[in-house]
Structure 1
Amino acid sequence: MFVKRTLLAASLAALAAPAALHAQTQTLDGISRVSRTAIEPVYAGNEVKGYVTYTKGDKADKKNDNFLLDFYDQDLNKVTNITLQKPAGKYFLLRNAFNGTAFAMYYYNAKDKTLELETYDTSLKKLGFKAIGELNRADMAATMQSFGAQGNDGDSGGGGMFGSMGLFPVPNYGFVRNSYEGTMKGYNLQMYDDKLTPRWRIAADPKAKFYETINLTQAVDKYILGTALRRDGVMSKKINPYMVAIEAATGKKVFEMPVETSTTEQLSLSSFTFDPVKREFIAVGEFYKLNDKPFVNKSQGFFIKRFSEAGKQVAVTNYGWHNQVAAAMPAEARQSLEDGFVNYTHSIVRGSNGMTYIVAEQYKVVGDGMGIAMTMLGGNASVSKGKIANMLVFALDPEYKLTNVKFFPKDPSVAYVPPGAGLMGTGFLGMYFRQSGQFDYQFTQKNDANSQFNVVYINYDKEKGEATKKVIGNVAFGDNGQFKVDKIDGTSNATASYLYPAKPGYVMLVDYLKKEKKMGMKLVKLNI
């Protein structure tokens, strides 16, 4: 996000002044539950300036649970905290979000079968509350998917196959809540301000013949970006992705277009973003021959499509694997493409020198012997599984000429493929892996000058005869033109471990020990 938040940075500095200067670690006792989505980095500009954590503590009494809301600065000094009481065993956090000025907690209240929103300012003073009742079947199904994906201990975040009950933070404006109509035939987006006063609402056309869901992906400049997925029927396996841009102030759709703008194209969409410098919308994915089948036939290369703010196509550039890309690609990377891996774009960043970097991770679909056996016995298991593999960074000059491809090998990891999803196209399956938290990529950090970037991922190192190690990988690059790799051993005996962005030069590692009811947070210095 490109919004500067100097007021937040100043308030953080003032609040943290009485605390110790260099805490760097924190241990919380009496924590009976925590999930990945319960910890939210606090940004000022591009850089992390603190964290808000929402954890379940010990019981308040027989009828109520204690929930702990804590605010830490960038060095893990506790700034402020409050304790909230909720009916025992009835409240589940779906999302914790921060938009630069306010924190939002999004709950499912199992007692009343309602959704609830609460907002707080940076001193943890309550700003607003809203209960949302009379949930339809689609809303209930999406809520259960969102909660079920976290698991009892929050081992993984994410949502459903075609959508989840999201709460999306928008700097300077508020929060957008997503909900659904019927059997997920259409979506509803409701924008609230920091006090949860409704600002605007947009919805899918109720008269449309197709089914449509939307995933919001980025708030940049004055736009909210997302990908809409359309299909002809609830059981249809043909999914058409649409790029969507919404004006944050008004809710007006200013851009809505399929990635395939010609009948001679077969494209997968893995990323849609906006360049605030050139004032262009940018789509990235892979292209195929018209009659090819994704995951059966290999892609021909990757593409970049650029559109003006008015929706006019500015340029299309195809980067063929055997033509434009081969000369810049290491031999290992060429072999991975021959082995059938495709690339999913996680982030696109522009350096202060005008260079554009595309960060991607490889994956493919392979046969699952256990799933095939279960299906033959009459089960409904998936006959495919995902294989997550290597990291790549594509470097392009200010004119979008490919100048370098960096390849970072890692041990393959396994991802769950829902029944039938392997037939729905590479772009969609990549979106599902990303939404359900199955990629090894964690995040991209950048400094305020946009001159230094860090891509952080996890590698589950499997050496023969040894226990699997959890290795935190960091790829550092920027205006100096160099690419450096740092690897840190993150192996632990924790029930669950999570990784978060941190202040420049660090990452934040969280370990949760369920039996001991402990949660540890520590800043880990990157050696680059």
Structure 2
Amino acid sequence: MFQLKRTLLTAVLTFSLAAAASAQTQTLDGVKSMPRSGISPIYSGNEVKGYILYARADKADRKNDNYHLDFFDQDLNKVSNITIQKPSGRYTLLQNSFNGTAFGLYFCNFKEGTLEIETYDTSLKKLGTKVIEDLSKGDKMMINQMVRSDGNTENTMGGLTLTPIADKGFVRNSYDGLMKGYALQMYDNNLNPKWRLTSDPKSKYYESFVIREVTDKYLVGTVLRRDGLMSKKFNSYMVAIDVNTGKKVMEAPVETSKTEQLSLSSFSFDVEKREFVAVGEYYKLDDKPFVNKSQGLYIKRFTEAGKLLGAKPYSWQKEVKAALPAEAKASMEDGFVNFTHSIVKGADGTMYIVAEQYKVVADGLGIAALALGGKASPTNGQIGNMLIFVLNPDYSLSTVKFYAKDRSKAMLPPGVGMMGAGLIGQVIKSQGDFDYQFLQRNSSNSLFNVVYINYDKEKGEATKKIVGNIAFGANGQFTLDKIDGTSTATNSFVYPAKPGYVMMVDYLKKQNQLGMKLVKLNI
């Protein structure tokens, strides 16, 4: 998330709001398909100021399909739209994103085996096209995986992402070699190459890079390093890259002494304090991060030069357990572990860590299928409750908020059950199987909203899809709002929206119709 200057987007939206009444709803006919990735919120600072929508429409002719490309403001007024034609059955949208001055659409061309990027300004005039043909073996493996899953791009883990850099362009993250390393390529808005950064080709290690955030100065991420492709022993590294030059300004292991055994869940940059913040879990010295169960949570702070400023541990059995309500303690005893979704800091210095519980359970049908020679997974994931850890400005643990929800399932691919808990959590996230949806906040960082889905299962009744919203912030109060999102739609999604709202989307495949509406939160 980034802070925008007064760009063309600001001018366009100002004109739109002055020229049109608040729509609050939109219905589009002739929509042939609509994945979740087809809609992306547009941010100005922390707040949603609009949406970009890309969806397949009616056929242009026997060989070509039409696609909607629509730009909406924060009230769902249509600002601009165009129709794009592409050869039928070849393209799948991997991602769309916005950097403040340009939209980036990232495609996979299955027939040609290429990746393609297109950029547009806010009037939806095309700025550039880039066809990427020199794909690594790792990229091709990811494309083949998507082909086998009928173009499903939401079940892929890592790689093939397009990250917006505020007003400057986009960074494409991909694999180098046979998933041995990573490759980052920066383009400007017209898709001219700016810089490229890759893993050391002489390194004996396998590395994967996850981009965590982009600030005005840094692209911040984490690197997982291991001895081999199938190795379960990971070392976590913190990396910061100058967005203008592509030069690494920091690369360091999260472990700062030989007496530590740590994993790295999140790495971010505190713009106000000008320091890096690492959050993860700690283990016994003879344990393995991501494999054995952790002993607790930690926070570490570093200068921009990488010097350690301070470290704070939070033991599950001591500090955390003492702050948990009884219901949360019961779920810990039941074997649930925590997956960190987001970490934010309020204007008053209070830090909030948003987590969701999960665990691995045996799947009786999967075990039976394996016994008969099948390929089903003998284990599956089970998703539990929501937790918010509240830390004081001095990083002492203030309280832990617990929000119970009905358990849901996550289907795990064969072999994943042999991984450690941390990596299984990453797989569940990559498949979109966590119930957490997103966190949104206002421009002053005084109000936050965590949105999640609960599949409410009352005995004797049909399952209801409940959208939960946890609101909290500077007033110290936590409120829970629930919206009945039960629908007969083919697909239904929830997205961030302007302050005080969420956007709910229903797609009706039989009617080829897409409905969008803003729903006010009770906060």
Normalising by the residue count of structure 1, what TM-score does the alignment of the two structures yield? 0.94
The equivalences for 1:207-356 within 5 A come to 207-292=202-287, 298-356=293-351
**SS of 1:266 mapped into structure 2:** coil
Question: Residue 53 of structure 2 aligns with which residue?
Answer: 53
Q: What amino acid is aligned across from residue 343 of structure 1 in structure 2?
A: N
**Residue 157, structure 1, aligned to residue 154, structure 2:** yes
How far is 1:109 from its partner?
Answer: 1.9
In 1: Cα distance, 2:125 partner to 2:15 partner: 13
1:194-233 Cα offsets, whole Å, 9 max, x none, are 1111110000111111221212121124111222222222
Question: Residue 98 of structure 1 aligns with which residue?
Answer: 98
How far is 1:148 from its partner?
Answer: 6.1
How far is 1:169 from its partner?
Answer: 1.3
**SS of 1:269 mapped into structure 2:** coil
**Residue 464, structure 1, aligned to residue 459, structure 2:** yes
**SS of 2:428 mapped into structure 1:** helix
Pairwise CA RMSD: 2.0
In 2: Cα distance, 1:295 partner to 1:273 partner: 20
Q: What amino acid is aligned across from residue 339 of structure 1 in structure 2?
A: D
In 1: Cα distance, 2:402 partner to 2:147 partner: 36
How far is 1:252 from its partner?
Answer: 1.1
**SS of 1:428 mapped into structure 2:** helix
How far is 1:484 from its partner?
Answer: 0.4
- 8 Å contact from structure 2 (residues 9, 101) kept in 1: no
How far is 1:418 from its partner?
Answer: 3.0
Question: Residue 87 of structure 1 aligns with which residue?
Answer: 87
Change (3 A) 1:281 1:342: same
Question: Residue 138 of structure 2 aligns with which residue?
Answer: 138
Change (3 A) 1:158 1:380: closer
1:135-173 Cα offsets, whole Å, 9 max, x none, are 343211123445666x56x6x72523xx33111112132
Question: Residue 33 of structure 1 aligns with which residue?
Answer: 33
How far is 1:294 from its partner?
Answer: 7.3
Question: Residue 192 of structure 2 aligns with which residue?
Answer: 197
How far is 1:50 from its partner?
Answer: 0.5
- 8 Å contact from structure 2 (residues 34, 55) kept in 1: yes
In 1: Cα distance, 2:207 partner to 2:198 partner: 10
Q: What amino acid is aligned across from residue 243 of structure 1 in structure 2?
A: M
Change (3 A) 1:237 1:380: farther
**SS of 2:264 mapped into structure 1:** strand
Change (3 A) 1:31 1:21: same
- 8 Å contact from structure 2 (residues 2, 44) kept in 1: no
| Structure 2 unpaired stretches of 5+ | none
- 8 Å contact from structure 1 (residues 8, 44) kept in 2: no
The equivalences for 1:349-498 within 5 A come to 349-498=344-493
- 8 Å contact from structure 2 (residues 435, 454) kept in 1: yes
Question: Residue 502 of structure 2 aligns with which residue?
Answer: 507
In 1: Cα distance, 2:456 partner to 2:468 partner: 11
* More deviation, 406-415/381-390: 381-390
- 8 Å contact from structure 2 (residues 166, 216) kept in 1: no
Q: What amino acid is aligned across from residue 486 of structure 1 in structure 2?
A: D
* More deviation, 139-148/199-208: 139-148
Change (3 A) 1:134 1:250: closer
How far is 1:85 from its partner?
Answer: 0.7
- 8 Å contact from structure 2 (residues 242, 249) kept in 1: yes
In 2: Cα distance, 1:55 partner to 1:13 partner: 22
* More deviation, 113-122/177-186: 177-186
Q: What amino acid is aligned across from residue 392 of structure 1 in structure 2?
A: L
In 2: Cα distance, 1:260 partner to 1:323 partner: 22
- 8 Å contact from structure 2 (residues 212, 222) kept in 1: yes
**SS of 2:328 mapped into structure 1:** helix
1:288-318 Cα offsets, whole Å, 9 max, x none, are 3233477986532211121211112221111
Question: Residue 11 of structure 2 aligns with which residue?
Answer: 11
1:22-71 Cα offsets, whole Å, 9 max, x none, are 21111111111111111110111111010010000000011111011000
Change (3 A) 1:307 1:419: farther
Q: What amino acid is aligned across from residue 348 of structure 1 in structure 2?
A: I
In 1: Cα distance, 2:260 partner to 2:371 partner: 37
Change (3 A) 1:100 1:123: same
In 1: Cα distance, 2:176 partner to 2:13 partner: 45
1:90-119 Cα offsets, whole Å, 9 max, x none, are 121111111121100111123432211110
- 8 Å contact from structure 2 (residues 102, 167) kept in 1: no
Query: Identity, % of aligned pairs?
Result: 62
Question: Residue 22 of structure 2 aligns with which residue?
Answer: 22
In 1: Cα distance, 2:254 partner to 2:382 partner: 26
In 1: Cα distance, 2:288 partner to 2:380 partner: 17
Change (3 A) 1:382 1:254: farther
In 2: Cα distance, 1:176 partner to 1:297 partner: 34
In 2: Cα distance, 1:329 partner to 1:356 partner: 17
**SS of 1:218 mapped into structure 2:** strand
Q: What amino acid is aligned across from residue 63 of structure 1 in structure 2?
A: K
Q: What amino acid is aligned across from residue 467 of structure 1 in structure 2?
A: A
**Residue 187, structure 1, aligned to residue 182, structure 2:** yes
* More deviation, 262-271/83-92: 262-271
Q: What amino acid is aligned across from residue 135 of structure 2 in structure 1?
A: L
Aligned residue pairs total: 523
- 8 Å contact from structure 2 (residues 110, 143) kept in 1: no
**SS of 2:263 mapped into structure 1:** strand
Question: Residue 64 of structure 2 aligns with which residue?
Answer: 64
How far is 1:482 from its partner?
Answer: 0.3
